[in-house]
Chain A
């Protein structure tokens, strides 16, 4: 069963990748999508049986992997509650994204490759979450990294896509360095890489110290922080986040699956999986909390100034991941996982919705050229609205009813407050500010895209589209829309282009794209209400698969009322500001930029991280490489080594040549001088 779930997508990826053209264009799409829907259909019963308490955690061995001295690790599939949660998240979103891609990638000639990569990614991600030892987790970790690299660079003719792909891989490798060192350290301390054994023995090692890089440090702190550095890379946390916004170069379904719902949450999954280990080091938890809190604030600030619709959502993802991390840091692993779960639905929804908008707007991604799309693409609009209500955490606190994010985000903020630590308070504060910013940038996105007057005529993409359409009228997307049961909207408009539309007709996306939106909307609306009890308040649900802090859960409910109201209040403030600035008074943002130009430029340029890293790491690496090569290898080693030796021999033989004059008297003279010298030496001695 679990083998089919995990290896089905791999098999499908291989079939799709290697099938030649004689199999037809549909085969690669059908086999991968079919495999994913099968995996999804098999995963839900597993999850539901864990939810009802009818399933036991178990490990299915697959194949021996490595045995080297005391170090052994095998291929095996572990299924427990935590895995089951991830299984449904991954397979559901992946299956929907596969389906969505039928529509979104319809015009792309390289579809077999795309679908093969998507399924390969899903396989790697499933290997990650079913890992029973750290090394298999690392396999999945790097495997999703590979798939991410390939998919970001899917349109490999674009230089920007290639650069983003390499950046994603290399920055992730920085995190992986930490992960690898962490695994080595774990093996050194515990003599095993098996996760259950490590978690069993971790409490016994608490308080011991270890020599690391010449320092004497607390063992558990060292191990946890090393492993967490890996999580920071994969989950794009402060410092190692720079790859995620650039990763938006990939096709939008990829952004939804990999860079929102699944891969980037791997770090959170890892921390939760290893939660008993992290619980042995308060220092490490403090560090996790700080990074999470800082990221959730930092990324939200940038999100407020970006104009590319996908980048806004990317920074939003980064920020939401920060929430998950500080939840884990304060010990609310259930809340972290719950936010991961709900976030997967509403963030995948937002990305796919954005994809639908981009599809409708002929690949224009800049929100400044959107506007007034509400009536043109109504299903997309309603789906995006559901996603926005979910991410901003709309709900009624005293009735405890709301959209998905209302349950998970409020639980995180409340547990941060309830943890009682200083770092917890800091995280709460950051989280509240970020919630305000989240509401602001989410509604800004909505207002700029769907409300107001069309501003399409300034967009080059739209101009191209209009220009092309005059010549021929056979865009596949339009034909699909024609068969659309959801009634595409052709707005009547005058021929005069003064309405800002440039004569362009946005079309609702085909059904293949809309069905995923509808399904995910249901998730974004309902997932919180259905599962909040299991995830947040049921130790039995988790059944030991994560560290469950009963006291914190009780304290969470006992927080003061103002703490419970605060997230909703800041959400409203954010909404009001966005409404004021983008609906009531569209001139306001420009005035703000005029007043606070410095702040705006700083945020617009993403706190100058890319520029900083370029100066600190990238440029010096190339400079050093050139210097080592030209000065080191060629200028020093070769010059004084082999070339030098050759030079000495050549010079020596030249002198020897001069001595061999061939004149008898010079030989005689030399002999004579030699004799004199020899005799004098003997005498003097």
Chain B
């Protein structure tokens, strides 16, 4: 694949598709969008297959100087590869989810989605700081339109909230970027990642980037745009929002904040810990009392992303890899959950949990899928959620047992709110006649659910496929952070020599045991 501009092609295909969609009738637009996203997915598979694991850090590099040091530079490492795969995997499913439910301005809708795909891939593939910024911020626009035009009843409020929040953070990041480019003399991201900025400046730069990423993540207390955006967005919009857009914050941390400002990252680690610990408990409890399905899943997203945040700042391999897997897993699982909500929303046109009930009776296949995704969200071993959360929390524990304990309470609360949701939707008696009359999932819905289910189980049983491409990049990052990494709170002491030699190795000396 040397020299073949596959990344540019992946950016181009949806763009062309978007252009066509604007001018063709609704049904054709759907087909065009599906074909374009499937081609991109196929290209993604080629990309993954030809990615040289353990090879060069940056692969498929493309570079064209434009002006004033600003260049069109693309290239990916394993981390970016995985997130690109997540994006191209979810896109055809999103198009499928919109197949029947979108009825007005179908061409523009599909065009917006294809635009979004280009921008998402661009974010993960960009190697130029400003190119990244353009993709990162432009991604807001199609999402803003999707919520604002094809959203629910209160869509205007939600779209403004979404835009306001995300834009304010970005302004600070742009200023920081200008400063960095002047200081380092380059806009090349790989070079910047290895640049040691002065310690004092790092803190300010870190905070500026933090302002943007924290909103995108979203971290407590700047998370309130997310529930509203999700509730109002159409199903496919929610899937992409939860599946990919939320990952941009995490990607930002792992690509910019950590490698570029390691000292500041260590300095502010407790800010992240504090906010994320609050988020885990706070949003889990809020999720417990929701009666809107989408809002519940949105709040659960905030809790999951808080675990991503904490694990990223745990400065060890388990934490970093764990948070990457949580991101991928959450992309699949929350996407799937929003899709599942969409399936019944299409039938009954309400998100009120109490309007459903007993779906396991009339929709057993649907109930099975929902169960799988619920369990994956809870982090049941064997599903993707477990691998991620387990590694992430194992990483966190090495830094602080307190933080690990608080975060691990998330697994209890997570089980509580998800099972409570499942019980109210799928179990119980059929109290609502219209919900009881809903047909089980059809072929189109099967085709959307099955790949997600397969991916969730694959990542849970054999996560090596996903860990291997990222391994060397995470190791590089771990090395980069090694000097700044704070010590854990365990401070394991050497055993007392006399105790170690005691009979049965019992800690008789300390415990005064009478064994």
A174 part of interface (Cβ distance < 8 Å):
yes
The one of B318, B358, B386, B490 in contact with A68, judged by C-beta atoms closer than 8 angstroms, is B318
The one of B222, B381, B511 in contact with A218, judged by C-beta atoms closer than 8 angstroms, is B511
**Once the chains bind, are B492 and A142 in contact (CB under 8 Å)?**
no
Query: Considering the chains assembled together, what is the distance between the CA atoms of A606 and B225 in angstroms?
Result: 46
A277 to B: closest C-beta gap in Å? 10
Q: Which residues of A contact B382 (CB under 8 A)?
A: 139, 143
**Once the chains bind, are A637 and B397 in contact (CB under 8 Å)?**
no
**Once the chains bind, are B286 and A621 in contact (CB under 8 Å)?**
no
A279 part of interface (Cβ distance < 8 Å):
yes
**Once the chains bind, are B495 and A204 in contact (CB under 8 Å)?**
yes
**Once the chains bind, are B402 and A214 in contact (CB under 8 Å)?**
yes
Query: Considering the chains assembled together, what is the distance between the CA atoms of A208 and B491 in angstroms?
Result: 10
A213 to B: closest C-beta gap in Å? 5
Query: Considering the chains assembled together, what is the distance between the CA atoms of A66 and B389 in angstroms?
Result: 13
With A63-B462, A633-B224 already in contact, the answer to whether A282 and B397 are too (CB < 8 A) is no
- Kindly identify, within residues 249 to 302 of chain A, every residue whose CB is under 8 Å from any CB belonging to chain B: 279-283, 285
B473 to A: closest C-beta gap in Å? 13
Band of interface residues on A: 35 or more
Q: List 9 A-B contacts (CB under 8 A).
A: A142-B386, A143-B381, A157-B428, A181-B404, A208-B496, A211-B490, A211-B491, A633-B227, A642-B161
Q: Which residues of A contact B420 (CB under 8 A)?
A: 166
**Once the chains bind, are A210 and B490 in contact (CB under 8 Å)?**
yes
The one of A139, A166, A547 in contact with B381, judged by C-beta atoms closer than 8 angstroms, is A139
The one of A205, A624, A645 in contact with B164, judged by C-beta atoms closer than 8 angstroms, is A645
The one of B317, B391, B428, B495 in contact with A206, judged by C-beta atoms closer than 8 angstroms, is B495
- Kindly identify, within residues 177 to 233 of chain A, every residue whose CB is under 8 Å from any CB belonging to chain B: 177, 180-181, 183-185, 187-189, 202-214, 218-221
The one of B408, B496, B505 in contact with A180, judged by C-beta atoms closer than 8 angstroms, is B408
**Once the chains bind, are B507 and A642 in contact (CB under 8 Å)?**
no
- Kindly identify, within residues 62 to 116 of chain B, every residue whose CB is under 8 Å from any CB belonging to chain A: none
B229 to A: closest C-beta gap in Å? 12
B349 part of interface (Cβ distance < 8 Å):
no
Number of residues of chain B lying within 8 A (CB) of chain A:
86
Q: Which residues of B contact A453 (CB under 8 A)?
A: none
Q: Which residues of B contact A642 (CB under 8 A)?
A: 160-161, 164-165, 224-225
Residue of B160, B221, B358 with most chain A CB atoms under a 10 A cut-off: B221
A71 part of interface (Cβ distance < 8 Å):
yes
**Once the chains bind, are A621 and B416 in contact (CB under 8 Å)?**
yes
Q: Is the interface of B mostly helix, strand, loop or mixed?
A: helix
**Once the chains bind, are A207 and B467 in contact (CB under 8 Å)?**
no
B135 part of interface (Cβ distance < 8 Å):
no
With A211-B490, A625-B289, A626-B289 already in contact, the answer to whether A177 and B409 are too (CB < 8 A) is yes
Residues of B within 8 A of A (CB): 160-161, 164-165, 221-222, 224-225, 227, 282, 285-290, 316-318, 321-322, 358, 360-361, 375, 380-382, 386-387, 390-391, 393-394, 397-398, 401-402, 404-405, 408-409, 411-413, 415-416, 419-420, 423, 426-429, 461-464, 467, 475, 478, 488-496, 498-500, 502, 504-515
The one of B358, B393, B495, B498 in contact with A205, judged by C-beta atoms closer than 8 angstroms, is B495
With A139-B382, A157-B358, A204-B495 already in contact, the answer to whether A162 and B423 are too (CB < 8 A) is yes
The one of B318, B499, B513 in contact with A69, judged by C-beta atoms closer than 8 angstroms, is B318
The one of B161, B394, B463 in contact with A71, judged by C-beta atoms closer than 8 angstroms, is B394
**Once the chains bind, are B489 and A214 in contact (CB under 8 Å)?**
yes
With A142-B380, A177-B412, A183-B394 already in contact, the answer to whether A280 and B401 are too (CB < 8 A) is no
**Once the chains bind, are A142 and B381 in contact (CB under 8 Å)?**
yes
**Once the chains bind, are A280 and B506 in contact (CB under 8 Å)?**
yes
List the 9 shortest-distance A-B pairs measured between CB atoms, nearest first: A207-B499, A203-B505, A282-B513, A69-B317, A184-B397, A139-B381, A625-B285, A625-B289, A156-B427
**Once the chains bind, are A206 and B492 in contact (CB under 8 Å)?**
no
Q: Using an 8 Å CB-CB cutoff, how does the interface string of A147-184 with B read, 1 for contact, 0 for none?
A: 00100010011010010011001100110110011011
Query: Considering the chains assembled together, what is the distance between the CA atoms of A281 and B515 in angstroms?
Result: 10
**Once the chains bind, are B288 and A637 in contact (CB under 8 Å)?**
no
With A170-B415, A180-B411 already in contact, the answer to whether A331 and B505 are too (CB < 8 A) is no
Q: Which residues of B contact A605 (CB under 8 A)?
A: none
Residue of A63, A153, A212, A625 with most chain B CB atoms under a 10 A cut-off: A625
Q: Which residues of B contact A138 (CB under 8 A)?
A: 381
**Once the chains bind, are A67 and B419 in contact (CB under 8 Å)?**
no
Which of chain B's residues has its CB closest to A157's CB?
B429
